[in-house]
């Protein structure tokens, strides 16, 4: 069994490497000809791989040296705490800086000699990874260094050294990107992937900093008014909260508001808005609302224990902060979605939107199931005859009832709203909605998990029953011992029966759609001198085609206007040929069927 530890520890890096390889292969299929020119893939892997490693070495070394210099200027130490630290810093710097300069020069020479190198996927993967690592380190260390500016904490030269060094690395690579923007689908994809990553990191930092900035003064005011010596104090200071919020807000504003706000409609845009903007807002606000509800109900009808009202309700302050900020994120991204749909007019539901809606429906269903299970267990416990062998305090049922009510009140509206909205969308959307991967995963996942829970708890019930009979110890205590298994069996049984009926209906709709679906012969589409955007690509891939992009050297690509997209897709479908080439020219876009030799 010892061998499984190292093997399992290797799964994460292996999965990352495999994911990167598959990602490169996918975008290479889109721009297949781009990697056929220039210095070659193996040489690119050598140059950009070692350039990234050298960059990390150089960043570590310069960060340590600069941090030591700043500490020395502040009078706290002389360059380093020990000779070993200074030796490490000098070693990384002496090795990393010249090595990165050499590999960066080789990469730039390749770009100057071969124009296609500027569009190479590995180059843009390097630029994305370098900026992603740099901005992550700069933001993390900056949040530690900046509080001294706001009068909290002590000066930390080490954090300032790391933050300033990696900020400079980020600025350098951002300037490289700005000097030669991405022009192909693959290069734009890697650049956009980085920008969305940075926008997500900035959004989360901005949200957490804003929550803490609102919560800390409110807690201090609450503690001062309550004047309760039992209050728990500590945690972040206002300066730390402001630092995190300010840095996160700047990163988010630069990458989202200034950069990719108008990137819609695209899969990445939908993924960011639905899964990171709306979903996290829903999770934060609903979770906080449930916490506040539980605290209030526990005081009103539950048993809060031997505590004062001031101490009991203190936790509602940070919960209110999560509620406000989560609701703000939810509302803002909903407004962005409404604005985009109004501008674009009747866009179909994307897969990230479906994933978001089914995730919220699943969260609501799980919360509802926990509430029902708690309620059923409480009912069984109440109905168990007295003298079953379990000591019960007076009004022992109050907190369990509060828990059940909280989960039911939170989970039921979420599940009802999002699940039945998905049902209406399935009825209106036809086969595309019914056969979507997210819906199928949700249905079979819920049905499978509920069946598994029901079977496990049925086994537990039967074991306890047979064991009690065989040992002649079947009493009311047996019923109380298995009350949670009874509750889970009832809840899982009800869910599994309902979703079994849904799956039957789902199968009938899928069979009718399969019988009515026209046979698609489209297999491959090559875009020659046509701007490759997600709207066109999504329409072609939905028709079953593999899409590739060729760049015309004699003219700029022709963009497909919003009002022309539907007509162009209809023209492509009317050819009834498996392979089609779209050629952009002065007269518009020509649809040319072709066959390989």
For residue 533, the tally of other CB atoms under 10 A from its CB is 17
- Residue 8: its pLDDT value, please? 39
- Residue 27: its pLDDT value, please? 54
- Alpha-carbon span 187 to 111, nearest angstrom: 14
Beta bridge partners of residue 525, listed in sequence order:
547, 580
- Alpha-carbon span 63 to 167, nearest angstrom: 11
416, 367 contact by CB (below 8 A): no
Give the CA distances from residue 283 to residues 203, 273, 411, in Å, rounded to whole numbers and listed in that order: 15, 14, 12
For residue 30, the Cα-to-chain-centroid distance in whole angstroms is 25
Residue 574 token pair:
């009317």
- Alpha-carbon span 394 to 479, nearest angstrom: 21
- What is the pTM (predicted TM-score) of this model? 0.78
Residues 6+ apart with CB under 8 A from 80: 64, 68, 86, 89
Q: Give me the DSSP letters along 520-539.
A: P---EEEEESB---HHHHHH
227, 280 contact by CB (below 8 A): no
- Residue 7: its pLDDT value, please? 36
What order do you get walking across the sheet with 579-585 strand by strand? 546-550, 524-528, 579-585, 588-593
- Residue 338: its pLDDT value, please? 81
9 φ, ψ to 5°?
Answer: -65, -20
- Residue 258: its pLDDT value, please? 80
- Residue 121: its pLDDT value, please? 86
- Residue 47: its pLDDT value, please? 92
- Residue 77: its pLDDT value, please? 57
Residue 103 token pair:
């590999």
86, 80 contact by CB (below 8 A): yes
240, 212 contact by CB (below 8 A): yes
Residues 6+ apart with CB under 8 A from 226: 308, 310, 311, 314
- Residue 433: its pLDDT value, please? 74
125, 154 contact by CB (below 8 A): no
**pLDDT of the chain, 597 residues: tens digit per residue:** 433 344 334 444 444 444 554 455 555 544 544 444 667 888 888 999 999 999 999 999 999 999 888 887 776 555 555 567 788 888 999 999 999 999 999 998 988 888 788 888 889 999 999 999 999 999 999 998 888 887 777 788 889 999 999 999 999 999 999 888 877 777 888 888 999 999 999 999 999 999 999 998 888 888 878 755 544 455 567 888 899 999 999 999 999 988 788 776 678 888 888 889 999 999 999 999 999 999 999 888 877 777 788 888 888 999 999 999 999 999 999 898 888 777 666 566 778 888 888 999 999 999 999 999 999 988 888 887 665 445 556 566 788 889 899 999 999 999 999 999 888 888 776 666 777 888 888 999 999 999 999 999 999 989 888 888 887 777 777 777 788 999 999 999 999 999 999 888 877 766 665 555 555 566 688 888 777 666 777 777 777 677 887 777 777 787 777 667 777 777 777 776 778 888 887 777 888 888 776
- Residue 513: its pLDDT value, please? 57
3-state secondary structure (DSSP) of residue 348? coil
Nearest one of 248, 237, 86, 72 to 155, comparing CA atoms: 72
- Residue 4: its pLDDT value, please? 37
- Residue 422: its pLDDT value, please? 86
- Residue 188: its pLDDT value, please? 84
- Residue 453: its pLDDT value, please? 93
Nearest one of 115, 117, 138, 114 to 126, comparing CA atoms: 117
110, 39 contact by CB (below 8 A): yes
Nearest one of 77, 65, 66, 187 to 121, comparing CA atoms: 187
- Residue 137: its pLDDT value, please? 95
- Residue 251: its pLDDT value, please? 94
For residue 153, the tally of other CB atoms under 10 A from its CB is 17
Residues 6+ apart with CB under 8 A from 368: 407, 408, 411, 412, 414, 415
Nearest one of 193, 177, 195, 173 to 185, comparing CA atoms: 193
422, 310 contact by CB (below 8 A): no
Classify residue 214 as left (phi > 0), alpha (psi -120 to 50) or beta.
Answer: alpha
């Amino acid at each position: 069994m010892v061998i499984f530890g190292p093997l399992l520890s290797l799964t994460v890096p292996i999965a990352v490497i495999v994911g990167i390889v598959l990602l490169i292969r996918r975008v290479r299929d889109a721009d297949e000809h781009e990697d056929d020119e220039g210095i070659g893939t193996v040489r690119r892997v050598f140059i950009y791989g070692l350039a990234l490693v050298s960059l990390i070495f150089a960043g570590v070394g310069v960060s340590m040296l600069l941090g030591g210099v700043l500490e020395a200027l502040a009078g706290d130490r002389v360059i380093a705490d020990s000779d070993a630290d200074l030796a490490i810093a000098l070693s990384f710097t002496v090795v990393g800086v010249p090595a990165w300069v050499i590999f960066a020069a080789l990469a730039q020479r390749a770009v100057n000699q071969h124009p296609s190198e500027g569009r190479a996927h590995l180059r843009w993967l390097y630029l994305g990874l370098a900026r992603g690592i740099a901005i992550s380190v700069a933001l993390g260390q900056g949040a530690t260094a900046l509080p001294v500016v706001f009068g909290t904490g002590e000066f930390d030269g080490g954090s300032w050294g790391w933050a300033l060094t990696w900020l400079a690395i980020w600025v350098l690579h951002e300037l490289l990107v700005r000097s030669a923007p991405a022009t192909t689908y693959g290069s734009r994809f890697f650049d956009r992937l980085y920008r969305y990553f940075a926008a997500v990191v900035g959004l989360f930092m901005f949200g957490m900093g804003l929550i803490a900035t609102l919560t800390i003064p409110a807690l201090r005011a609450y503690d001062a008014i309550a004047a309760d010596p039992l209050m728990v104090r500590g945690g972040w200071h206002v300066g730390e909260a402001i630092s995190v919020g300010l840095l996160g807000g700047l990163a988010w504003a630069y990458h989202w508001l200034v950069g990719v706000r108008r990137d819609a409609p695209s899969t990445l845009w939908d993924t960011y808005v639905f899964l990171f903007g709306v979903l996290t807002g829903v999770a934060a606000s609903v979770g906080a609302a449930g916490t506040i509800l539980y605290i209030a109900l526990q005081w009103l009808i539950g048993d809060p224990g031997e505590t004062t009202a001031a101490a009991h309700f203190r936790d509602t302050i940070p919960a209110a902060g999560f509620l406000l900020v989560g609701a703000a994120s939810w509302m803002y991204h909903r407004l962005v979605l409404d604005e985009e749909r109004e501008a674009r007019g009747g866009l179909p539901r994307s897969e990230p939107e479906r994933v978001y809606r089914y995730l919220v429906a699943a969260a609501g269903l799980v919360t509802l199931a926990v509430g029902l299970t708690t309620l059923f267990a409480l009912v069984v416990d109440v109905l168990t005859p007295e003298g079953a062998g379990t000591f019960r305090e007076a009004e022992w049922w109050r907190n369990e009832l509060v828990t059940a009510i909280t989960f039911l009140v939170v989970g039921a509206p979420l599940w009802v709203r999002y699940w039945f909205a998905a049902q209406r969308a399935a009825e209106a959307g036809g086969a595309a909605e019914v056969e979507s991967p997210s819906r199928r995963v949700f249905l079979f996942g819920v049905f499978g998990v509920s069946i598994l829970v029901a079977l496990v708890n049925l086994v537990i019930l039967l074991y306890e029953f047979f064991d009690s009979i065989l040992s002649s110890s079947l009493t009311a205590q047996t019923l109380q011992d298995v009350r949670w298994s009874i509750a889970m069996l009832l809840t899982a049984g009800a869910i599994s029966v309902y979703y079994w009926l849904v799956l039957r209906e789902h199968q009938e709709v899928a069979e009718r759609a399969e019988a009515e679906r026209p046979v698609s012969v489209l297999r491959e589409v090559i875009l020659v001198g046509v701007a490759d955007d997600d709207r066109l690509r999504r329409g072609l891939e939905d028709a079953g085609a593999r899409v590739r992009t060729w760049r015309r050297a004699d003219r700029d690509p022709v963009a497909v206007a919003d009002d022309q997209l539907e007509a162009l897709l209809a023209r492509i479908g009317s050819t009834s040929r498996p392979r089609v080439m779209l050629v952009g020219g002065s007269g518009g876009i020509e649809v040319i069927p072709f066959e390989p030799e």
